[in-house]
Structure 1
Amino acid sequence: MCLVFVCDEDERMISRQPAPGSCPYCGGMIHAIDVKSQWRFCFLPLYIRTKKKYYCSMCARCLVIKY
């Protein structure tokens, strides 16, 4: 039996800049990272999305912004 994965997701960091504020857990500096994610099916790109993620530089936690 042979399993072949035909779907793939690739995430790449585009840019990184400091964000205002501090981490609520440790008080460290927050970085805003622009990430480009791409879904592929049989090596053909189906969906490309750019999103912003926030990380603490000291404790390396991913922070979620609630509106």
Structure 2
Amino acid sequence: MCLVFVCDQDERVIGRYAAPGACPYCGGMVQTVDVESQWRFCFVPLYNKSKRRLICSTCGKRLIAHS
């Protein structure tokens, strides 16, 4: 018996905005990126989630904001 699962995750960028501060690694400009991710099983959407990420525009590293 063989079981095959067809799962897929799709991420789509909704918007990019300038954020205050500089990258601690290279000193480049920081951007806030809104990302919408969607999990699908056999082309049926199961899960949608929107996230906000901080990314350096020069080196491309994902940054973590400490509150």
TM-score (norm 2): 0.87
Question: What stretches of structure 1 move > 4 A for 4+ residues in a row?
Answer: 2-5
- Residue aligning to 1:43: 43
1:13 is the counterpart of 2:21: no
Counterparts of 1:5 and 1:63 in 2: how far apart (Å)? Answer: 33
Q: How many residues align?
A: 66
Aligned residue type for 2:19: A
Identity %: 59
Letter in 2 for 1:62: R
- 1:4-56 CA-to-partner distances (Å, cap 9, x unmatched) read 54110000000000011111111110000000000001111000000011111
Structure 2 residue runs without a partner (length 5+): none
